[in-house]
Amino acid sequence: MTISQPAKQYPLSKDEALIYDWRIHSIRQALKQKGKATGPLQIFDLQELDHLDQYHYFGTKACDRAIDRLALSPNSRVLDIGSGIGGPARYISYKTECHIQCVELRKSFNEIAQELTQRVGLDKRIQYLTGNILSPQVIDALLPGSFDSIISFLSFLHIENRDKILEICFSSLKENGL
């Protein structure tokens, strides 16, 4: 699902656009070099891309730590704020069979995230929402008290209104959620 945001709110400089486009291009090139430009993928195909799929520090080790600390299971519902291209969500859902709702500001990131998630067969467990987590439209799309846990890798530092993001997190969690 895409929730429209006014384009003037999030203008990208040419350098910023190049950085974001580079990641998507690099993923496509790496898969093409492996002979896997199209068709089904295994999660291991994406894990081999390392920093291209895990767009944060410490890669899958950070995801494993989140799995352990949050005690994620097949019954868990997780909110991933600033999900990027979906690498952490795919890895965590693959390892735990949990359900994840991703929220990402950049439409191009969500488009490749959805594609890769479908190609590894996790699209029944992972959903993607494009929009600003602070916008009323996104907040309304996230049902209050519906998540067991929230994850976010390297996203909160880009959100100026920390009080608002923490308020959204708190209201999105079930009682005793983490």
Domain layout of the chain by residue ranges? 13-172
pLDDT of residue 8: 39
pLDDT of residue 59: 85
pLDDT of residue 7: 40
CATH number of 13-172: 3.40.50.150
pLDDT of residue 6: 42
Please give the model's pTM, rounded to 2 decimal places. Answer: 0.89
Q: What are the Cα distances from residue 55, in Å, to 82, 84, 147?
A: 10, 7, 23
pLDDT of residue 53: 85
pLDDT of residue 16: 74
pLDDT of residue 20: 74
Low-confidence residues of the chain: pLDDT under 50: 4-8
